[in-house]
């Protein structure tokens, strides 16, 4: 039977979020050395069970003299997901199918993240190339959920979620191509914002994609930490074509009209289980108690028809990863080592490659039409993050048949990829608990560029209903 893994203890980190920790460092109540050693000790204690660390960077963290003293998180320990470049370290991307070269420099996003003042102590685990929403490869890593080790963390930002939720660090990087920030946020009781397209620097190698569906971000335990990060990121690099976020510190002070999906979508995909829909209804009542208008509407799109198009595009990404490894990874890929799902995705694309442009066009049109329709009548869209409560380890095993995993993943994340295509900001908030005592997230989506509105709403909800932490009894 699984157990809860709680790294929180009476050390320099305590139960502080990144903001409180940085304040304690700034006022010299604790030192950077103390919090670094505390985080390393916590990591060493829980990682043998959680399997969340891909690469340890402890010595570099202990001797890091290049931290940004002016950042809001000066000295705060962190992790970076292992599909991003950190100078002096490999980028393995959750696979053993190639041998990564050591990165010669940080990626643009890593520099943007480091500008907040964080001190990186390692890189975190992920599934192979980030294609499955759980990290369960027995040869490399099985990453377990600290709320109950029998369950998945979700993915693909699996290791980062485990490290933040368990209390090893208060913030870590994540990225999201079809829910890879929002899914682990929901499964692990965290805050996970997928920002507006081009709000942050892209992940290396994705700039030239026909439609960039991969978004950088962070996982945190508090809304204020997420807000502070985006304020710092904006100071480092601001996209002048988007509305500024600024430093969102105050809860929403106006009433919104919010739509959420009823549990009767057409077809087999998108049906929520009892726990998940119950949390949706409870959140709707909470919103109404805050003065917002909430309306239940029919799911405004054909989920299943869009799934095939999305798998075609994801298959294209897999095909490129496999067959052009020297361009995408800097090393040749050994196909004999690849997981069945990775190969299955590539084979799906090989059969449908003449339909790639048509699939992309359909996805873009559908996303825009759906959002245009909803935005005429509503300020915010509310959906489930995952349609089902957090599954046990094995449900997304990479050893399963490709079609089975594809169907399970598409059903589990039915309401997420659309907003990767549209580019609109979407946030997962830990607003409920399932009957198996696992966290349940709720997704809120705002119009393109309105990240600040999401953060204001998130602050309001956090104040109205303080969510549970892993150390709560």
Beta bridge partners of 192: 219, 428
Contact present, 326 and 332 (Cβ < 8 Å): yes
Closest CA to 180 of 231, 143, 147: 143
State the Cα–Cα distance between residues 222 and 65, nearest whole angstrom: 28
Task: Tell how strand 439-445 and strand 215-220 pair up.
Answer: unpaired
What value does the CA radius of gyration of the chain take, rounded to a whole number of Å? 20
- SS3 at position 293: strand
* Helix locations, 92-157, DSSP H: 108-114
User: Using CA of residue 335, residue 179, residue 185, residue 244, what is the dihedral sign?
Assistant: positive
State the Cα–Cα distance between residues 58 and 48, nearest whole angstrom: 16
The catalytic residue among 107, 156, 158, 424 is 156
Q: Is 87 a catalytic residue?
A: no
Give the number of C-alpha atoms closer than 13 A to the C-alpha of residue 417, restricted to the C-beta side: 29
Q: Is 305 a catalytic residue?
A: no
Contact present, 392 and 149 (Cβ < 8 Å): no
Tokens of 421: 């295509």
Residues with Cβ < 8 Å from 82, sequence gap 6 or more?
54, 55, 91, 92, 93, 94, 123, 124, 125, 126, 159
The catalytic residue among 107, 134, 180, 414 is 180
Q: Is 428 a catalytic residue?
A: no
Contact present, 426 and 444 (Cβ < 8 Å): yes
Query: What string of DSSP letters covers 349-399?
Result: HHHHGGGHHHHHHHHHHHHHHHHHHHHHH-SEEEEESSSSPPPBTTTT-TT
Tokens of 80: 């970076």
Tokens of 283: 């959140």
Phi, psi of 173 (to 5 degrees): -75, 155
Calculate the alpha carbon distances from 443 to 105, 238, 259, 302, 440 in Å.
35, 25, 12, 19, 10
* Catalytic machinery residues: 81, 156, 180
């Amino acid at each position: 039977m699984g157990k809860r893994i709680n790294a929180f203890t009476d050390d320099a980190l305590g139960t502080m979020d990144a903001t409180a920790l940085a304040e304690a460092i700034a006022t010299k109540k604790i030192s950077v050395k103390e919090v670094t050693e505390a985080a390393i000790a916590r990591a060493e204690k829980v990682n043998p069970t959680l399997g969340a660390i891909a690469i340890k960077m402890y010595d570099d963290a202990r001797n890091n003299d290049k931290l940004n003293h002016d950042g809001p998180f000066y000295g705060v320990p962190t992790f970076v997901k292992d599909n991003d470049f950190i100078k002096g370290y490999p980028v393995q991307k959750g696979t053993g199918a190639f041998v990564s070269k050591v990165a010669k420099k940080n990626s643009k996003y890593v520099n943007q993240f480091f500008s907040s003042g964080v001190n990186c102590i390692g890189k975190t685990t992920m599934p192979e190339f980030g294609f499955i929403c759980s990290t369960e490869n027995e040869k490399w890593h099985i990453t377990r959920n600290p709320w109950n080790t029998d369950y998945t963390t979700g993915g693909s930002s699996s290791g980062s979620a485990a490290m933040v939720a368990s209390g090893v660090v208060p913030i870590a990087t994540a990225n999201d191509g079809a829910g890879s920030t929002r899914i682990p946020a929901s499964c692990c009781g965290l805050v996970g914002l997928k920002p507006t397209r081009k709000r942050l620097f892209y992940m290396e190698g994705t700039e030239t994609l026909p439609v960039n569906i991969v978004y950088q971000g962070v996982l945190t335990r508090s809304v204020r930490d997420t807000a502070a990060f985006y304020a710092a990121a904006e100071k480092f690099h601001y996209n002048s074509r988007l509305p500024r976020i600024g430093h969102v510190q105050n809860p929403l002070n106006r009433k919104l009209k919010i739509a959420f999906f009823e549990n009767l979508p057409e077809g087999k995909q998108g049906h929520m289980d009892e726990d998940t829909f119950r949390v949706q209804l409870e959140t709707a009542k909470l919103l109404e108690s805050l003065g917002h208008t909430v309306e239940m509407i029919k799911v405004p799109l054909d989920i299943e028809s869009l799934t095939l198009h999305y798998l075609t595009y994801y298959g294209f990404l897999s095909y490129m990863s496999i067959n052009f490894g020297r361009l995408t990874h800097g090393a040749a890929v050994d196909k004999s080592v690849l997981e069945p799902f990775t190969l299955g995705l590539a084979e799906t694309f090989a059969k449908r490659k003449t339909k790639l442009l048509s699939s992309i066009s359909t996805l873009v049109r559908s996303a825009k039409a759906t959002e245009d329709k909803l935005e005429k009548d509503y300020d915010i869209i509310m959906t489930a993050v995952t349609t089902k409560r957090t599954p046990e380890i094995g449900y997304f095993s990479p050893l399963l048949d490709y079609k089975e995993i594809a169907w399970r993943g598409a059903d589990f994340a039915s309401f997420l990829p659309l907003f990767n295509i549209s580019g609109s900001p979407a946030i997962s908030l830990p607003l409920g608990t399932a009957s198996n005592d696992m966290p349940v997230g709720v997704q809120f989506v705002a119009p393109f560029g309105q990240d600040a509105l999401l953060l204001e709403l998130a602050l309001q909800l956090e104040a109205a209903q303080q969510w549970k932490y892993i150390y709560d009894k």
